[in-house]
A and B are shown apart, each in its own frame.
Chain A
């Protein structure tokens, strides 16, 4: 089975006008960086991959993930994880409940609780299980959001300016954490960014749109 993500002649139109396109394979463990001016359609490209394009858009071409075509799968069946600039932790759930939302179903209550505790200590947040996400610092929120996504066992990772909201030191830390985890799990990563440092840290190819 060929691991990784392949975008085969992916073309997106808005109201009939061509907007962006990409024709690329991203190997397992590789990071592909996409840069380009604002409004060129970077976020739209990621939405096409997660299957959440707005009604104004149409997309053609094929998206393959780990040997399956997912172009027509429902968003929740695609197993594509995404991180945005905002952490988007669900404000009505505690930190542990947010992680449990991500964690694949299965296992007893104690098993799941143990998995969540382990996940929390992996991101240095032991004892934060019952905290209100609104009371966390920006860096802590970002780590919970990352872990929540990893617990859903995605087969690919999309980053939509995921580090832009963090200050320089935190940004560095978070980048390392994300790329490490992605590599450890052999995930193909597609990163959209405005920041050349992000691109340099990723180490992979850079594509410029627009």
Chain B
């Protein structure tokens, strides 16, 4: 039983690794927000930082942008996922949509945003393909499409990435909620497919994807990298402005940043509160709508809207990624030409040293944080198995908490805290910060397959004399090799995509493919951006290829593991 002790401590350790930095960061935000910041020679309490924040002329617009883009992106993504699933679930079309949407999940946000920007900008691919024949342009028009003041292209970039996420969560929820029979009953009662699904199946599905929807909302309201690439800049959304204050050489601006971070937290919490109220209202309206017994109208039109929009968003990301690849190999490329005049390795050669440096940091941070996360998660799940206590509702909330607290609300505080401890350098703190976000995703990814494993295998092994450790190492882990590697790949993809934690906690000294790529955004060197964004995407996608290839190779003679 002495061996059982460390295992039982793992859930607590995991919670600490996940929530410790969040709590510390929030604490580190509150102090400077109220004027206490010894490193810059300030000691509080005072309301000056908050006054400075309120004095910033762009504040109203920045707040409005954060709320508008976050809420719009969430509503549109959720609506689209509902239209696609309600209209097409169970059909061949749905499987096709699912197949092109799911790989997009692991494409880093920044790369997807760059791809979209290269597509829709006035000098982007669309304009080039349509010119000069359709448009008559021989010079790019002077339009502000990307970085538009309303943040619409920012919304589009977020939607393109959140639809795959919510779709995958919906599919997982459908697997557990017996939707097929619900829909069949509704159809037998004369309901159209879409109306029947929304009335019968959606309420159960929504109950299960609620937390992921909250994550999308909190993320959309506080995202930095996508906003830097696609969002407006004068003024930018609040999150980007917080980062500008953080990066200001004048240390005292960090106090304003801290006050902004608190405001960001309040905004997200407030919006979540309004969202929850809206859930109630819509739920009540939905019940009345269901009680009226209408069998559905405009079904065909709505189904096709879902199909076309969903397909378009997938194609936009894929075309955007292709655009990045083309730019990365492009030689001279005059404006209205649809393709560059020549291709070559020049851009890659030029950026190769930078790429390899950034790749090393990226790989070290991603592999270490994903490895640590895997060890902790397996420890937690095994402790769960042995104690027989499964994750409660509250536990699930704790798991989602690091994804619900906006990064811009606690990372600035965490950095200030590390700065005052003199621990703001090296890869260690960056890895710890990544772990906060990698852990929940690894847990969510491995949890279901872990629990779905046939427990009788363990009983048989034990009856053959295998100790609990032997059952774990010799039976359970090998049999779960594929989901384990997938969970690692998810963790790596999450880590590769992290922008703010790397930038802030690394203090500018840890350069990953993501920080390097986003840093290029303002310069507008499309070839350099293409090279870095392609490298970033590859770093996020390669582990998934490995997660498919390794079990296929290792278990090539074991048909029972290819189900």
A interface, CB within 8 angstroms of B: 47, 50-52, 54-55, 74-82, 84, 86, 88-92, 94, 101-102, 104, 132-135, 148-149, 152, 154
- Does B180 count as interface, using CB distance less than 8 angstroms? no
Residues 455-497 (chain B) with a chain A CB within 8 angstroms: 456-468, 470, 474-475, 478-479, 481
Q: Which residues of A contact B454 (CB under 8 A)?
A: 88
Residues 414-464 (chain B) with a chain A CB within 8 angstroms: 454, 456-464
Q: Which residues of A contact B456 (CB under 8 A)?
A: 84, 86, 88
Interface pair B560/A132, CB less than 8 Å apart? yes
The residue on A at minimum CB distance from B462 is A75
- Does B343 count as interface, using CB distance less than 8 angstroms? no
Q: B464, B479, B555: which contacts A102 (Cβ < 8 A)? A: B464
Q: How far is the CA of A94 from the CA of B478 in the complex (A)?
A: 13
Q: B451 to nearest A CB, angstroms?
A: 13
Q: What is the total number of residues of chain B having a CB less than 8 Å from a CB of chain A?
A: 29
- Does B91 count as interface, using CB distance less than 8 angstroms? no
- Known pairs A47-B459, A76-B467, A135-B559; list 5 more (Cβ under 8 Å): A88-B457, A89-B560, A91-B561, A92-B561, A154-B463
Interface pair B457/A101, CB less than 8 Å apart? no
Q: B560 to nearest A CB, angstroms?
A: 3
The residue on B at minimum CB distance from A105 is B465
Interface pair A50/B463, CB less than 8 Å apart? yes
Q: Which residues of B contact A84 (CB under 8 A)?
A: 456, 460
Q: Is the interface of B mostly helix, strand, loop or mixed?
A: helix
Q: A43 to nearest B CB, angstroms?
A: 10
Q: Is the interface of A mostly helix, strand, loop or mixed?
A: loop
Q: How far is the CA of A94 from the CA of B465 in the complex (A)?
A: 19
The residue on A at minimum CB distance from B460 is A88
The answer to whether A55 and B388 touch (CB under 8 A), given A76-B466, A79-B465, A90-B475, is yes
Closest 3 CB pairs of A and B: A55-B388, A91-B560, A134-B560
Q: How far is the CA of A52 from the CA of B459 in the complex (A)?
A: 7
Interface pair B560/A101, CB less than 8 Å apart? no
Q: B389 to nearest A CB, angstroms?
A: 7
Interface pair A133/B464, CB less than 8 Å apart? no
Interface pair B459/A152, CB less than 8 Å apart? no
Q: B459 to nearest A CB, angstroms?
A: 5
Most buried by A among B388, B389, B460, B474: B460
Q: How far is the CA of A51 from the CA of B459 in the complex (A)?
A: 9
Interface pair B459/A90, CB less than 8 Å apart? no
Q: Which residues of B contact A77 (CB under 8 A)?
A: 465
Q: A50, A55, A86, A94: which contacts B462 (Cβ < 8 A)? A: A50
Most buried by B among A74, A79, A134: A134
Q: A67 to nearest B CB, angstroms?
A: 19
Interface pair A92/B479, CB less than 8 Å apart? yes
Q: Which residues of A contact B561 (CB under 8 A)?
A: 91-92
Most buried by A among B458, B464, B475, B478: B464
5 A–B contacts from the bound complex (CB under 8 Å): A74-B468, A88-B457, A90-B479, A132-B557, A133-B560
Q: How far is the CA of A133 from the CA of B464 in the complex (A)?
A: 18
- Does B292 count as interface, using CB distance less than 8 angstroms? no
The residue on B at minimum CB distance from A154 is B463
- Does B558 count as interface, using CB distance less than 8 angstroms? yes
Q: Which residues of A contact B481 (CB under 8 A)?
A: 92
Q: B483 to nearest A CB, angstroms?
A: 13
The residue on B at minimum CB distance from A76 is B462
Q: Which residues of A contact B388 (CB under 8 A)?
A: 54-55
The residue on B at minimum CB distance from A151 is B464
Q: A81, A91, A132: which contacts B463 (Cβ < 8 A)? A: A81
Interface pair A91/B389, CB less than 8 Å apart? no
Q: A144 to nearest B CB, angstroms?
A: 12
Q: How far is the CA of A80 from the CA of B389 in the complex (A)?
A: 26
Interface pair A92/B555, CB less than 8 Å apart? yes
Q: How far is the CA of A78 from the CA of B464 in the complex (A)?
A: 9
